[in-house]
Amino acid sequence: MGTDFWKRFKKNKIALAGSCVVILLFVVSIFAPVIAPYDTNEINLKLVLAPPSASHLCGTDQLGRDVFSRMVWGSRISLKVGFVATGIAILIGAVLGAVAGYYGRWTDAVIMRFVDIMLCFPTFFLILAVIALLEPSIWNIMIIIGLTGWMGITRLVRADFTSLKERDFVLAARAIGASDLRIIFIHILPNAMASVLVAATLGVAGAILTESALSFLGIGVQPPTPSWGNILTAGKDNIDIAWWLSLYPGLAILITVLGYNLLGEGIRDSLDPRLK
C-alpha cells in the first residue's frame, strides 16, 4: 500500500509543490536562529518604516525592527499553533468518532447530536467569545482552536468505523475474545487513519489561518512575540506609507495555507483506490 501511495503521490505535481512549501516552512522554523539576521525585538529608531533594502530584505516596522527576522521567527508560532491545535482536534475527534461508530445506537445518537450542536455555532465567533473571557496567549489559542475543530474529524472517523466494524478481521478479533478497546484502537483505528491524515493536513492550514486572524485582531499572540498576524496589524496602521508590512506577511500566510491544502489534496487523491 505504501509503495502504491508513493507512486501516485510522485505523479501529482501540485501535491509535490505543496510538500516543498511545507518542508521549507519546517526548515525555516527549525533554523530560525541561523536564518534571521537580526534580533526580533531589536529597536532602531533611525530606521523606522524603512523600505526593503539589501540590509533589511522585507523592510522595517514602526519601531525599526527587521520584518524579515520577525517573519522567520513567526513561522515557529504558526507551526506550533497548527500542529498542537490540530493534534488536540484529532485526539478528541478520533476518540468520539471511534466510540460513536463502533457502538452505534444511543451512543452514536448522543455523540452525533452533540456534534450537530457544536456545528451550529460559527467557529470563529465562538473562539472570539472564549478568548475574550481568557487571557490571550499562544497556549490558550492552541487549546481553543483544537477544542473547536474536532467535529469534522469525528464525522470522518465515525463513518469509517461504521463500515470497518463489520469486516472479517474485526469479527475474527471478537471471536478470539479481544476486548472492545483493543478492537477499536488496535484493529480498526489504524485502518481509519487515512482520512484522519488528510483532515489533519487541512486542519493545520485552518489553524494557522485562524491564529493569524486572531493575532491581526489583537487577541492572539501578543507583542513583542512575532506573529504573521500581528505584523499585519502594523501593516494595517501604516498601509499608506509602508506597503511591505502588509504584503510580505500576507504572502507568507497565503503560501503556507495553500501549501498545506495542496498537500492534503494530494494525500487524499493518492489514497483514493478509485484513482489506481
Helix 138-147, helix 67-103: angle, nearest 10: 30
The DSSP annotation for 241-259 comes to T-THHHHHHHHHHHHHHHH
Q: What is the pLDDT of residues 153-165, one digit of tens each?
A: 999 999 888 888 8
The predicted structure's pLDDT at residue 272? 63
Percent of the chain with pLDDT over 70: 97
Q: What is the number of alpha carbons within 13 Å of residue 68 lying toward its C-beta?
A: 15
273: pLDDT confidence band, cut at 50, 70 and 90?
Answer: low
pLDDT higher than threshold 80 for residue 123: no
Distance of alpha carbon 213 from alpha carbon 273, whole angstroms = 37
Adjacent-strand bridge partners of 66: 60
The predicted structure's pLDDT at residue 2? 58
The predicted structure's pLDDT at residue 88? 93
What predicted TM-score, i.e. pTM, was given to this entire model? 0.86
The predicted structure's pLDDT at residue 14? 84
Distance of alpha carbon 35 from alpha carbon 260, whole angstroms = 22
Residue 70's contacts (CB-CB under 8 Å, 6 or more residues apart) are 40, 61, 226, 231
pLDDT higher than threshold 80 for residue 135: no
Higher-confidence residue of 204 and 270: namely 204
Averaged pLDDT, 237-260: 88
Residue 97's contacts (CB-CB under 8 Å, 6 or more residues apart) are 153, 154, 155, 156, 157, 158, 160, 161
Distance of alpha carbon 94 from alpha carbon 63, whole angstroms = 45
The predicted structure's pLDDT at residue 84? 92
Adjacent-strand bridge partners of 60: 66
Please, are residues 88 and 143 in contact by the beta-carbon 8 Å criterion? yes
Q: In CATH terms, is domain 2-29+67-275 a member of 1.10.3720.10?
A: yes
Please, are residues 48 and 60 in contact by the beta-carbon 8 Å criterion? yes
The predicted structure's pLDDT at residue 271? 74
Averaged pLDDT, 162-180: 84
pLDDT higher than threshold 70 for residue 23: yes
Q: What is the pLDDT of residues 182-221, one digit of tens each?
A: 888 888 888 888 888 888 888 898 888 888 888 888 887 8
